[in-house]
Amino acid sequence: MVPITMTFDCADARAQAAFWAVALGYEEAPPPTGWDTWESWLRDHEVPEDEWDDGASIRDPDGVGPSIGFLRVPEPKTAKNRLHLDLQVAGGRHVAQAEREGAIRAKVEQLLPLGATVLHEAFGPRGLDHVVLADPEGNELCVV
């Protein structure tokens, strides 16, 4: 297996990291071994202070999911994502529909105050199947 980090290009790395940490139940990644803070790591690596907010990183506190990085880029998002994340909160189609819908709506309500926008609600024969959201910078994700 090859370890991976998923990386988002964005305008505000710290804000995106904060949003996705809540969305995924992640935490800010600690500084590399040997440094007590990211600031000390940045100083020791002579990164100019005006570049300190160019990146951020979050991780799964249980070490199961991939690390996720956020890099500030100058250009804005211009098209639909070709890859998106599904937040699988509903437990699957074997779960009672009312319970599934409650879990989906609860996650959506948690993310809206953090800057998410509802793009579309998708319904199947039993009711709500998933909700398509945009994160604060317009990246699509689904709450399933």
> What does DSSP assign to residue 125?
T
For residues 17 and 51, the answer to whether their CB atoms sit within 8 Å is no
Tell whether 53 and 102 lie within a shared domain.
no
Could you read off the pLDDT of 76-107 as tens digits, one per residue? 888 888 899 999 999 988 999 999 999 999 99
130 C-beta neighbours (distance < 10 Å), count? 21
Range of the domain at 53: 5-72
User: Which residue among 50, 72, 94 closes a domain?
Assistant: 72
Tell whether 25 and 59 lie within a shared domain.
yes
Predicted TM-score (pTM) of this structure: 0.90
Predicted local confidence at residue 103, as pLDDT: 98
Tell whether 63 and 113 lie within a shared domain.
no
Tell whether 14 and 60 lie within a shared domain.
yes
User: Which residue among 19, 45, 72 closes a domain?
Assistant: 72
Predicted local confidence at residue 81, as pLDDT: 87
Tell whether 66 and 102 lie within a shared domain.
no
Predicted local confidence at residue 47, as pLDDT: 93
Return d(Cα 83, Cα 93) in angstroms, integer. 23
Could you read off the pLDDT of 17-70 as tens digits, one per residue? 999 999 999 999 999 999 999 999 999 999 999 999 999 999 999 999 999 999
Predicted local confidence at residue 82, as pLDDT: 86
Nearest CA among 46, 65, 47 for reference residue 57 = 65
Beta strands, E only, the chain? 5-10, 27-28, 55-59, 67-72, 85-87, 117-124, 127-134, 140-143
* Structure-block tokens of residue 73: 């880029």
Asked if residue 78 is part of any domain, the answer here is no
Confidence of residue 114 (pLDDT cuts 50, 70, 90): very high
Tell whether 9 and 68 lie within a shared domain.
yes
Confidence of residue 2 (pLDDT cuts 50, 70, 90): confident
User: Which residue among 72, 99, 118 closes a domain?
Assistant: 72
Tell whether 68 and 89 lie within a shared domain.
no
Total structural domains within the chain: 2
Tell whether 90 and 68 lie within a shared domain.
no
